[in-house]
Amino acid sequence: MRNSQRLYFPFAEGDRTLALSLKPLRIEDWIEIDDQFSSYVQRKTELLETIHSEVFASLPNTQNAQQEVLDLLLEHLSQQFPELYDRTAETIKVKATDQTWNIDQFEPLDLAGRLVQEDFCLMRPSDRGYILAAASLCFPLRWRLLEKLGNPMIQIHQPVPNYPEQLGNPVDRLFDRLKVDRPVFRINWSIVETPELYLGHQSHSNTKSVELTPDDLWIRVERQSVRRLARSNWILFTIRTYRYPLMMLKDYPESAIGLASILQDLSPGMQLYKNLLPIREMLLTTLKQMETSC
């Protein structure tokens, strides 16, 4: 039996929404596998079968770096989770879902995405800075891969309020200076009205407050890792999506208090971007009740 899902509630630290907030990542902890593994991997398979071009895309001349990612991942899985996979020279079997993939059957990054719960974004250096060169992205949070492919960081983040002023330079510096043996991770959070993992077709600002109750809301957390690839010198960005029922915060009053205070301080632009405006009052009332009932 694998571990139940980890809890990442980044709210106790105050509003770090527009900060790098990076922590060192121990390479053994790069990939996280939990008791929802089969449902994540099966959802990925469905999406890759039905809407492949929405969830996998690559630019030309990315095969070597894609292969580097797959090689790293296969090595990592054989070291950290040997009991979960069966590997031959030509195939890899995901035992929990009984799926066997030929290693040459897909582009390397496409295969990498089918093996774990993480999504993968490969960033290539260019004269416009790092650009999104390939991705296996089954669980996007309200963005579409094809609209970002080939774009540099500043354009990818165009909808994020104040990104150019507050994050543009620090992120560029991070990418320029990142060392192969010093990977990092950060946590991003949102409140959404569904546990569905694929939110590629949802746009911002479409949450309707009507009919929604606190029981309908989910905390969606992305554990994002950033590492430099030794062979290609490109950068690999991974996104591991978690979702928790909002009402779970009842058991974590400090996080409920932290989220309420972040909501109170969040700029109107960020509230709009994060789809919080229609549900803000309801959220604050609910979180305050959790504070007083503890």
Q: Does 8 bind ligand HEM (CB under 6 A)?
A: no
Contacts of 49 (CB under 8 A, 6+ apart): none
Chain positions 14 to 43 lying near ligand HEM, rule: CB under 6 A, are 17-18, 20
Q: Which listed range, 69-77, 84-92, 142-150, 243-251, lies at the site for ligand HEM (CB under 6 A)?
A: 142-150
Question: By C-alpha distance, which of 3, 21, 2 is closest to 221?
Answer: 21
Read off φ and ψ for residue 102, nearest 5 degrees.
-75, 135
**Which residues, listed in sequence order, are joined to residue 224 by a DSSP beta bridge?**
186, 239
d(CA 75, CA 16) in angstroms, rounded, equals 34
| Angle, vertex CA 113, rays to CA 73 and CA 189, nearest 5 | 100
Q: Does 159 bind ligand HEM (CB under 6 A)?
A: yes
Site for ligand HEM (CB under 6 A): which residue of 121, 134, 262, 276?
121
Going from the C-alpha of 261 to that of each of 9, 25, 105, 129, the distances in angstroms are 14, 28, 49, 36
Q: Which is nearer to ligand HEM, 37 or 242 (CB)?
A: 242
Site for ligand HEM (CB under 6 A): which residue of 73, 94, 132, 263?
132
- Are 78 and 66 in contact, with CB atoms under 8 Å apart? no
Q: Does 207 bind ligand HEM (CB under 6 A)?
A: no
Q: Which is nearer to ligand HEM, 92 or 109 (CB)?
A: 109
* Tokens coding 11: 């709210």
Contacts of 120 (CB under 8 A, 6+ apart): 69, 109, 112, 113, 135, 136, 137, 236, 237, 238
Question: By C-alpha distance, which of 24, 40, 44, 116 is closest to 74?
Answer: 116
Q: Does 65 bind ligand HEM (CB under 6 A)?
A: no
* CB 204 to ligand HEM: min, Å: 6
Question: By C-alpha distance, which of 230, 180, 182 is closest to 64?
Answer: 230
Dihedral sign (CA 61, 64, 68, 74): positive
Chain positions 222 to 281 lying near ligand HEM, rule: CB under 6 A, are 226, 237, 274
Q: Which is nearer to ligand HEM, 18 or 282 (CB)?
A: 18
Q: Does 131 bind ligand HEM (CB under 6 A)?
A: no
Q: Which is nearer to ligand HEM, 89 or 177 (CB)?
A: 177
Alpha helices (runs of H) in 60-119, residue ranges in sequence order: 63-80, 108-115
Q: Which is nearer to ligand HEM, 83 or 177 (CB)?
A: 177
Q: Which is nearer to ligand HEM, 81 or 237 (CB)?
A: 237
* CB 146 to ligand HEM: min, Å: 12
Q: Which is nearer to ligand HEM, 148 or 228 (CB)?
A: 148
Question: By C-alpha distance, which of 206, 191, 59, 188 is closest to 122?
Answer: 59
Q: Which listed range, 99-107, 154-162, 210-218, 282-290, lies at the site for ligand HEM (CB under 6 A)?
A: 154-162
Q: Which is nearer to ligand HEM, 64 or 267 (CB)?
A: 267
Site for ligand HEM (CB under 6 A): which residue of 157, 207, 248, 272?
157
Binding site for ligand HEM (CB under 6 A): 17-18, 20, 121, 123, 132, 142-143, 148, 156-157, 159-160, 167, 171, 186, 188, 190, 226, 237, 274
